[in-house]
């Protein structure tokens, strides 16, 4: 299931509050939910014109989050048209439009210019199973 479809399903319990219609700023409050991580009942500031949300997802992945969809539908906009064109089928086709070449022998590869990445030996894991830091008790809870 696509990200947009999942987000669109979440808007049912969301509450939309007008904050500033002129600047396109709205508040969306998610319902309290004891069964979800975080518990819900969060307030998000959606900037419809700037295409940003306080949760950070809209501006980062360029697909309206559930809060943005709530606002856009509340304004009677087609929320799907706010999905960035980079996700369009045309773009996907263009990505693979060029001709692929057969990979040459490694001896013919050019040296890479720029910084050389070296692994940090401090971060290398030792052989064997990692040591558990969890302290077990009788009930199985921490």
Q: Which of 57, 43, 56, 52 is nearest to 25 (CA)?
A: 52
Residue among 45 and 87 whose Cβ is closer to Zn ion: 45
Q: Which residue, 39 or 94, has its beta carbon nearer to Zn ion?
A: 39
Q: Is the dihedral of CA 57, 51, 83, 69 positive or negative?
A: positive
Extract the tokens encoding 46: 């959606």
Quote the least distance from Cβ 69 to Zn ion, whole Å.
Answer: 9
**By the 8 A CB rule, do 10 and 28 touch?**
no
Q: Is 11 in the site for Zn ion (CB under 5 A)?
A: no
CA gap 53, 26 in Å, rounded: 9
**Does the footprint of Zn ion cover residue 14 (CB under 5 A)?**
no
| Cα angle: 93, vertex 81, 1; to 5 degrees | 65
* Binding of residue 69 to Zn ion (CB under 5 A): no
Among 11, 55, 69, 71, the residue binding Zn ion under the rule CB under 5 A is 55
63 binds Zn ion (CB under 5 A): no
Residue of the chain from 11, 48, 53, 79 that contacts Zn ion (CB under 5 A): 53
**3-state SS, residue 44:** strand
Residues 87-116 that bind Zn ion (CB under 5 A): none
- Does position 65 interact with Zn ion (CB under 5 A)? The reply is yes
Of 14, 47, 67, 70, the one binding Zn ion by CB under 5 A = 67
DSSP 131: P
Residues lying near Zn ion in the complex (CB under 5 A): 44, 53, 55, 65, 67
């Amino acid at each position: 299931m696509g990200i947009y479809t999942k987000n669109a399903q979440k808007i049912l319990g969301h509450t939309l509050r007008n904050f500033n219609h002129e600047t396109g700023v709205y508040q969306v409050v998610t319902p309290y939910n004891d069964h979800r991580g975080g518990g819900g009942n969060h307030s998000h500031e959606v900037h419809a014109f700037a295409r940003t949300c306080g949760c950070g997802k809209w501006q980062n992945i360029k697909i309206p989050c559930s809060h943005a969809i709530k606002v856009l539908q509340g304004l009677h906009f087609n929320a799907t048209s706010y999905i960035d064109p980079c996700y369009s089928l045309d773009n996907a086709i263009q990505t693979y439009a060029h001709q692929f070449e057969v990979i040459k022998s490694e001896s013919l590869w050019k040296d890479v210019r720029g910084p050389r990445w070296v692994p940090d030996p401090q971060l290398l894991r030792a052989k064997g199973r990692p040591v558990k830091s969890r302290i077990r008790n009788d009930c199985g809870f921490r």
